[in-house]
């Protein structure tokens, strides 16, 4: 990967068990999981404290269950009890639950909370790495580190993935968001907008003192300004890419592994990424612990754990996405009804996140002709 003798001569090499690139939810929680296991890690974060992060900031029901033990659950969030679906601005259905089914956070505050009590090197940029038989040498613009493992938690533009020739990121969504000042009469509902953009959706919901308004679609079909159709109130629109899961298992080799969006571990149906970023870090921490005990560098178990907990659901989610968005005008009458929406939201109760597999099972048992047709399409798409 090249060397920097001037940098090496200037500072002695720091040694850690694990070197993590990126201090977002996946990198920060991985460091916490490792810390709880007694494993030393350092987080290299090119941004500053309370760095800005463009993101809708939605968290599912099970978020509190998967956070590391050393992370306080006492962070600011807005609970959502009402789920409302609109098609071209007209309410199709609204469901209210007795308790919250999701939560909204300001990402810069949530991410800073996750980084509390960690060894984070702010304002430091990853440059390169060299893998050796028993260690990996990591170079930044300020230091040189030695560790047993290097983890790329550096998001869609992962430099670790690029240099290690991992995860090509072939399924990209372009999203936009603007934040409006919260009004006194704002309701704390999670609103989803359909019909404004092809192969995508929009949203509007409260996050602390702001209202997040945004939209996203597959890169080929993205059109800027859909968020203005949802709410015409003026605010700067920020645009950002999201790398959806595309079935690429090339996310670890040698002493290098990827987590979160660096590995494209992002829901292929709704493009949510925070929950699975944290869950993938939890799974990776268990494998790193096992490797350190055995003095090995085998990440096959990481892939096995991802397959059994995340990727299986993602395959169902991908099939649902391929049927739902293109055929929305045909199937919206069947899908967007109270009983179906209640069922979909309640699938979180068992696993903490939407279960697309359970949605499949529900469609399989239905006797309604329209749903039988949808199920047949879904079944074909799942196994394509």
Going from N- to C-terminal start, the domains of the chain cover 5-57+108-169+248-312, 76-103+171-243, 323-382
If one counts every other C-beta atom within 10 angstroms of the C-beta of residue 116, the result is 13
Residue 300 is predicted with a pLDDT of 95
**For the residues of 128-155, what is the DSSP string, one character each?**
EEEE-SS-EEEEESS-EEEESEEEE---
Question: In the CATH scheme, what is the code of domain 5-57+108-169+248-312?
Answer: 3.50.50.60
Exposed / middle / buried, residue 82 (Cβ in 10 Å: 0-12, 13-18, 19+)? middle
Are the CB atoms for 375 and 366 separated by under 8 Å? yes
Residue 288 is predicted with a pLDDT of 98
Q: What is the pTM of this model?
A: 0.91
Residue 379 is predicted with a pLDDT of 66
Residue 254 is predicted with a pLDDT of 96
Alpha helices (runs of H) in the chain, residue ranges in sequence order: 5-10, 25-36, 63-66, 107-114, 159-164, 226-230, 274-294, 300-306, 312-324, 328-335, 338-346, 348-351, 356-365, 369-382
Q: Kindly state the tokens that stand for 263.
A: 């590995």
Q: In what order do the strands lie in the sheet with 149-152?
A: 120-122, 41-45, 18-21, 149-152, 256-258, 252-253
Instruction: Report how far residue 368's alpha carbon sits from residue 167's, in angstroms, rounded to the nearest whole number.
Output: 41
| Residue ranges in the chain whose pLDDT is less than 50 | 1-4, 6-9, 384
Residue 6 is predicted with a pLDDT of 47
Instruction: Report how far residue 218's alpha carbon sits from residue 241's, in angstroms, rounded to the nearest whole number.
Output: 10
Residue 8 is predicted with a pLDDT of 45
In the DSSP assignment, the letter for residue 45 is E
Where do we find the tokens 């799974």? 283
Q: Kindly state the tokens that stand for 193.
A: 């907008």
Helices then strands, counting H and E runs in the chain, come out as: 14, 20
Instruction: Report how far residue 314's alpha carbon sits from residue 316's, in angstroms, rounded to the nearest whole number.
Output: 5
Mean pLDDT over all residues of the chain? Answer: 90
Instruction: Report how far residue 64's alpha carbon sits from residue 71's, in angstroms, rounded to the nearest whole number.
Output: 10
Instruction: Report how far residue 83's alpha carbon sits from residue 60's, in angstroms, rounded to the nearest whole number.
Output: 13
Are the CB atoms for 217 and 197 separated by under 8 Å? yes
């Amino acid at each position: 990967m090249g060397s920097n003798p001037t940098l090496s001569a200037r500072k002695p090499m720091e040694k850690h068990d694990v070197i993590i690139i990126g201090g977002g939810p996946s990198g920060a929680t991985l460091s916490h999981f490792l810390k709880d296991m007694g494993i030393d890690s350092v987080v290299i974060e090119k941004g500053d404290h309370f760095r800005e992060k463009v993101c809708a900031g939605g968290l599912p029901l099970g978020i509190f269950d998967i956070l590391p033990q050393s992370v306080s659950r006492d962070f600011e969030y807005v609970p959502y009890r009402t789920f409302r679906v609109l098609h071209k601005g007209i309410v199709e259905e609204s469901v209210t639950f007795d308790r919250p089914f999701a939560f909204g956070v300001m990402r810069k505050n949530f991410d800073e909370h996750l980084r509390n009590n960690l060894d984070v090197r702010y304002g430091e940029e990853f440059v390169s790495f060299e893998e050796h038989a028993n260690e990996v040498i990591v170079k930044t613009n300020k230091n040189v580190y030695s560790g047993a493992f290097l983890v790329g938690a550096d998001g869609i533009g992962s430099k670790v993935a690029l240099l290690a020739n991992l995860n090509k990121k072939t399924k990209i969504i372009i999203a936009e968001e603007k934040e409006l000042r919260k009004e006194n009469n704002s309701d704390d509902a999670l609103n989803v907008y359909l019909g404004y953009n092809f192969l995508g959706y929009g949203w509007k919901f409260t996050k602390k003192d702001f209202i997040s308004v945004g939209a996203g679609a597959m890169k080929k079909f993205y059109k800027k300004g859909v968020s203005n159709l949802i709410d015409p109130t003026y605010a700067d629109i920020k645009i950002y890419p999201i790398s959806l899961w595309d079935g690429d298992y090339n996310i670890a080799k040698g002493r290098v592994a990827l987590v979160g969006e660096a590995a494209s571990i992002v829901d292929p149906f709704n493009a949510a990424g925070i929950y699975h970023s944290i869950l993938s870090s939890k799974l990776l921490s268990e494998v790193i612990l096992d490797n350190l005990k055995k003095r090995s560098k085998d990440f096959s178990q990481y892939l096995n754990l991802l397959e059994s907990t995340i990727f299986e659901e993602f395959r169902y989610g991908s099939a649902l996405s391929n049927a739902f968005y293109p055929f929305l005008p045909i199937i919206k009458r069947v899908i967007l009804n109270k009983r179906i929406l209640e069922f979909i939201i309640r699938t979180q109760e068992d696993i903490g996140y939407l279960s697309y597999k359970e949605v499949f099972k529900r469609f399989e048992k239905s006797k309604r002709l329209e749903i039988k047709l949808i199920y047949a399409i879904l079944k074909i798409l799942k196994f394509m």
